[in-house]
C-alpha cells in the first residue's frame, strides 16, 4: 500500500485503476443502475457510445492546442483566469500552484462570445467550436443526470439536469495544458493540478492519449487512471455528494423516500431557517444511494504534453441546496444549513485547492 503524498515521486508505482465503463447504447434501466452503482462505489466512471461526435471533440482539441502554442504575450491577451481567462501555474486565489496553463471560461454563450475576441485570431470560429463542444457535453451531462435520477428511482427524472440546462446555470469549461515536466528531475511527473474535489454537480472530462489523472481511493492511495481518448471520464461533484449526505442521515433514521421534486420561484421554511429567494430551487432528494465526490489530481507526463478539457455542470448561483422541511425532525436534523450554490462557490474559492469545504456548512 502506498500512502498519499504531495511528492509524487515518493509513491511506489500503484496499480492503475480500471474505472467502470458504461456503454450508453445499452438498455436504459440497466445503464441507469450501472451508473448509480459507479457513483456510489467510485464517484468516477467512463462512458462510451456517448453520442458526442468525434469531430466536435477533435475541433475543440485543435483550438486548444493552437491556443497553447501561441507566444505568451498573445495568450495573456485572454485576460487573467480570475474570473475567466488565461492562467499559468497559479490556481485559484490562495496561492495554489501547479505545472499547468489553462483557459477557464463560463459556458454562458454571451460570455463565450466575448472571451473569443481576445482568445483567438478567428473569434467566430473559436466561439462556434466552444459552443458546439459545450452544447454536446452538456447534452451528455443531462443524459447522465437523468439516468442517475432514474437509477435512484427519482420521480422527476429531469430534476438534476434542469439545473444545468437553466439559462442561468453557472457551468464552466476549462482547457488545461500540462507541458512535459518531471518532479525534481525524477522519473515521475510533477503535480500539474493538485489534490481536490470538484465543487459542482458533475464533471465531464476528456483528455488526449497522455496519462496523468489520478484518483485517491479510500485508503489514501493515489491510483492512475489510464488515458482513453475514445471515452469521457465522468465524476461526481460536491453538490451531488451533498444530496447523498443528507440522504444517509435520513436513511439511518429509517426514512427512505424515493422521490425528488424541484420547485422554482417559491419561499420555504426549512427547520429554523426561512429561505427567501425569487429564483429558488428547492431540492427534495431522498434515496438510499450515496454518491461520492472523490479527490483527484493531475500529474504531468515527463515526455509528452497532456491536454484535457473539462465541463463542470453547476446550478444557477441562486439555486438552493438543502434537505426538504418535512423531513427535518428532532430525529433527523439538518446535517447542513441550507445554502445556495453561489455561497458554496464563494466558500470554495476562499479556501485552498485541497481544503474540505463541506464542513463549513455543517450545522
Ligand atoms: C476545481 C474544479 C474547477 O477546475 C474549478 C477550480 C477552481 C480554479 O481553478 O479556479 C478552484 C478549484 C476548482 C476548487 C477550489 C477553488 C476553486 C481553485 C480553488 C482553489 C474551476 C472550480 O470550480 O473549482
Q: Which atom of ligand 1 is found nearest the CA of 104? A: 21
Q: What's the average model confidence in pLDDT over 139-164?
A: 86
Neighbours of 121 (CB within 10 A): 9
In a domain, 231, yes or no: yes
The finding on whether 91 has its CB within 6 A of some atom of ligand 1 is: yes
As a whole number, mean pLDDT of residues 21-37 equals: 95
**With b meaning 16 or more CB within 10 Å and e meaning fewer, what string describes 46-60?**
bbeebebeeebbebb
> Please, which residues have CB within 8 angstroms of residue 137's CB and are 6 or more apart in sequence?
52, 204, 206, 232, 311
State if pTM tops 0.90. Answer: no
Q: What angle do CA 319, 320, 324 make, to 5 degrees?
A: 145
HSE, CB side, 13 Å, CA atoms: give it for residue 214: 28
**Ligand 1: distance of its center to the CA of 251 in Å?**
31
Range in 91-100, 193-202, 317-326 with the lowest mean pLDDT? 317-326
| 213 touches ligand 1 (CB under 6 Å) | no
**Model pLDDT, residue 88:** 98
Does residue 257 lie in a domain region?
no
Query: In sequence order, what DSSP letters do the residues of 344-357 get, joined into one string?
Result: HHHHHHHS-TT---
- Residue 297 near residue 208, CB atoms below 8 Å: no
Residue 330 is assigned to a structural domain of this protein: yes
Residue 270's pLDDT band (boundaries 50, 70, 90)? very low
Annotated catalytic sites, by residue? Answer: 306
CA distance 22 to 48: 6
Is the CB of 313 within 6 Å of ligand 1?
A: no
Q: Give residues with Cβ within 8 angstroms of 330, minimum separation 6.
A: none
> What CATH number has the domain bearing residue 236?
2.60.120.330
pLDDT at residue 13, rounded to an integer: 59
* In contact, 316 and 163? CB cutoff 8 Å: yes
ipTM for the complex shown: 0.99
pLDDT for res 26: 96
Q: For ligand 1, atom 23, which residue shows the shortest CA distance?
A: 199
Helix, strand, or coil here: 290?
coil
Q: Residue 189 sits in which domain range?
A: 21-243+281-361
CA of 284 to the centre of ligand 1 (A): 27
Residue 219 placed within a domain: yes
Inside any domain, residue 267: no
Q: Is residue 66 one of the residues assigned to a domain?
A: yes
- The number of helices, as runs of H, and strands, as runs of E, in the chain is 8, 18
CA of 193 to the centre of ligand 1 (A): 10
Q: For 52-108, how does the pLDDT look when each residue is reduced to its tens digit (9 = 90+)?
A: 999 999 999 999 999 999 999 999 999 999 899 999 999 999 999 999 999 999 999
The pLDDT of residue 81 is: 95
pLDDT for 361: 77
Domain count, the chain: 1
For cell 474570473, what's the residue? Answer: 83
Q: Ligand 1 in contact with 348 (CB < 6 A)?
A: yes
Sequence-ordered list of residues with C-beta below 8 angstroms from that of 271, at least 6 positions apart, any chain: 325, 328, 333, 334
Per-residue pLDDT, 329: 61
| pLDDT score, position 170 | 97
Tell me whether residue 118 is in a domain: yes
Angle at 339 between CA 337 and CA 341, to 5 degrees: 150
- Is the CB of 198 inside a 6 Å radius of any atom of ligand 1? yes
Question: Which three three-digit cell numbers place residue 109?
Answer: 454563450
User: d(Cα 159, Cα 271) in Å, to the nearest integer?
Assistant: 23
What does the alpha-carbon distance between residue 98 and residue 298 come to, in Å, rounded to a whole number? 9
Q: Which atom of ligand 1 is nearest to the CA of 353?
A: 20
- Find the mean pLDDT for residues 28-39: 93
Dihedral of CA 327/330/336/342: which sign?
positive
Report the nearest atom of ligand 1 relative to the CA of 203: 2
Compute the Cα dihedral for 124, 88, 209, 292 and give only its sign.
negative
Residue 162 CB contacts under 8 Å (≥ 6 apart), including other chains: 262
Alpha carbon nearest to ligand 1 atom 18, residue: 92
Amino acid at each position: 500500500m502506498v500512502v498519499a503524498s504531495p511528492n509524487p515521486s515518493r509513491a511506489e508505482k500503484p496499480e492503475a485503476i480500471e474505472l467502470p465503463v458504461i456503454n450508453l447504447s445499452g438498455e436504459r434501466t440497466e445503464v441507469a443502475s450501472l451508473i448509480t452503482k459507479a457513483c456510489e462505489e467510485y464517484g468516477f466512471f467512463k462512458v462510451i457510445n456517448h453520442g458526442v461526435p468525434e469531430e466536435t471533440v477533435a475541433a475543440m482539441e485543435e483550438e486548444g492546442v493552437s491556443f497553447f502554442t501561441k507566444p505568451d504575450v498573445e495568450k495573456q491577451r485572454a485576460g487573467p483566469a480570475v474570473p475567466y481567462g488565461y492562467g499559468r501555474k497559479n490556481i485559484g486565489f490562495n496561492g495554489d500552484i501547479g505545472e499547468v496553463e489553462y483557459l477557464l471560461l463560463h459556458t454562458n454563450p454571451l460570455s463565450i462570445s466575448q472571451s473569443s475576441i481576445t482568445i483567438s485570431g478567428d473569434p467566430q470560429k473559436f466561439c462556434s467550436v466552444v459552443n458546439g463542444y459545450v452544447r454536446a457535453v452538456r447534452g451528455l451531462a443531462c443524459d447522465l443526470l437523468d439516468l442517475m435520477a432514474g437509477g435512484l428511482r427519482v420521480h422527476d427524472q429531469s430534476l438534476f439536469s434542469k439545473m444545468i440546462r437553466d439559462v442561468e446555470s453557472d457551468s464552466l469549461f476549462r482547457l488545461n495544458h500540462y507541458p512535459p515536466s518531471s518532479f525534481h528531475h525524477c522519473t515521475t511527473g510533477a503535480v500539474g493540478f493538485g489534490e481536490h474535489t470538484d465543487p459542482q454537480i458533475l464533471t465531464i472530462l476528456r483528455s488526449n492519449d497522455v496519462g496523468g489523472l489520478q484518483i485517491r481511493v479510500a485508503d489514501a492511495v493515489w491510483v492512475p487512471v489510464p488515458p482513453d481518448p475514445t471515452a469521457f471520464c465522468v465524476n461526481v461533484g460536491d453538490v451531488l455528494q451533498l444530496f447523498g449526505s443528507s440522504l444517509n442521515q435520513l436513511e439511518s433514521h429509517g426514512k427512505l423516500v424515493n422521490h425528488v421534486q424541484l420547485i422554482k420561484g417559491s419561499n420555504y421554511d426549512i427547520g429554523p431557517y426561512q429561505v427567501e429567494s425569487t429564483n429558488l430551487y428547492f431540492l427534495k432528494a431522498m434515496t438510499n444511494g450515496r454518491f461520492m465526490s472523490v479527490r483527484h489530481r493531475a500529474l504531468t507526463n515527463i515526455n509528452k504534453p497532456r491536454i484535457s478539457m473539462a465541463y463542470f455542470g453547476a446550478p444557477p448561483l441562486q439555486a438552493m441546496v438543502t434537505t426538504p422541511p418535512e423531513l427535518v425532525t428532532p430525529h433527523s436534523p439538518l446535517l447542513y444549513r441550507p445554502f445556495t450554490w453561489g455561497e458554496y462557490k464563494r466558500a470554495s474559492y476562499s479556501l485552498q485547492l485541497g481544503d474540505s469545504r463541506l464542513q463549513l456548512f455543517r450545522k
